[in-house]
Amino acid sequence: MPEIPSKIGRPPKSDRNPDEVKTEILAAAVEEFSQHGLSGTTTEAIAHRARVTKAMIHYYFKTKEGVYRAALENLFSGLVTPVQQEEFTHISPEQALASFIQQVLQSASSQPCIHALLALEAIQNQGKYYKELEVGQLVYGTLSCILERGVEAGVFRPLNPQHMAVNILGTCVFYFVSQGNLQHFFQERAMASPDMMEQHTTEAIAFIMAGVLR
């Protein structure tokens, strides 16, 4: 059940900058939610990690669900922006697809918590909060449009854009979702290192292109 917020009025006294406080609360929330999900996280745990009071969390975000929504938005904000979506329409479908994959992988590697949080959102909430994210629709919508353009231009084989979008994103993020397991496959090579990420990006683009090009 949603947590009942404490009395909300004036912001709690603090010598810290309000923007910095909100940033630290969100960072702490991401860590907690990615480990325990929404149902297993408490505002007490977030407050303790962020070194703030529960009153501060309730003042800035009202409820635990409010922090959760903000954390999801914050994580997804860098995946694809409306500006990038527009830019993809001005280059060839092949270039747009390669750039899209590179952008998603770059964002995914810089935000390791996003994968665990997405998995827990699907398991615990059946995507209840994910569906509220505009950027979530933006990611799949942008990729589907790129694929549709490629099919219409005759450079991509006939395919279902929605299903292929799921397959492409799955190819991109499985590397991160399963790092705990795959680190044993790659043994002593650091999977998040720049050279490994460059190799993964190169292989992912080549694999996906081989699957969609005529």
> How many CB atoms lie under 10 A from the CB of residue 8?
12
3-state helix, strand, coil in the chain (%, to 5): 75, 0, 25
Helix (H) or strand (E) holding 68: helix 64-76
pTM for the predicted model, two decimal places:
0.82
Domains, the chain, in order of start with CATH, read 18-74 (1.10.10.60), 77-212 (1.10.357.10)
Per-residue pLDDT of the chain (214 residues; tens, 9 = 90+): 555 444 444 455 556 788 899 999 999 999 999 999 999 999 999 999 999 999 999 999 999 999 999 999 888 876 777 788 889 999 999 999 999 999 889 888 888 788 889 889 999 999 999 888 877 778 888 999 999 999 999 999 999 999 999 999 999 888 888 877 877 888 767 878 889 899 999 999 999 999 999 9
Measured distance CA(1)–CA(63) in Å, rounded? 11
**C-alpha angle with apex 42: 39 to 47, nearest 5 degrees?**
150
d(CA 35, CA 21): 21
